[in-house]
């Protein structure tokens, strides 16, 4: 079974855009949103706690694409 690795943590809006960019470039991802889980449980969580995870085999390519995405988005 393949393992997912966290490659980025940021705001939900940024992560959703990044996930779409990775998908457009052939890399599937999982978004782990601790904000929503904590909210439903009645807890607060820090900003920028949404994680983007990719399969272990895609980590290096994803990191390259993340750098490219950051350049495009001005981050």
Q: Where are the domains of the chain?
A: 4-73
Of the chain, the percentage scoring pLDDT greater than 90 comes to: 67
The top-level CATH class assigned to 4-73 is alpha beta
- Confidence check: pLDDT of 72 > 80: yes
Query: How do residues 7-61 score in pLDDT, each as one tens digit?
Result: 999 998 999 999 999 999 999 999 998 777 777 777 776 677 899 999 999 999 9
pTM above 0.75, yes or no: yes
Q: Is 75 exposed, middle or buried (0-12, 13-18, 19+ CB in 10 A)?
A: exposed
Closest CA to 58 of 28, 21, 19: 28
pLDDT score of 75: 60
**What does the pLDDT read at residue 15?**
95
If one counts every other C-beta atom within 10 angstroms of the C-beta of residue 18, the result is: 23
């Amino acid at each position: 079974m393949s393992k997912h690795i966290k490659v980025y943590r940021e705001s939900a809006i940024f992560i959703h855009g990044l996930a779409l960019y990775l998908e457009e470039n052939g890399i599937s991802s999982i978004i782990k949103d601790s904000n929503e889980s904590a909210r439903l449980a009645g807890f607060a969580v820090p900003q920028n706690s949404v994680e983007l995870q990719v399969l272990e085999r895609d980590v290096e390519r994803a990191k390259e694409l993340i750098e490219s995405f950051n350049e495009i988005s001005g981050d």
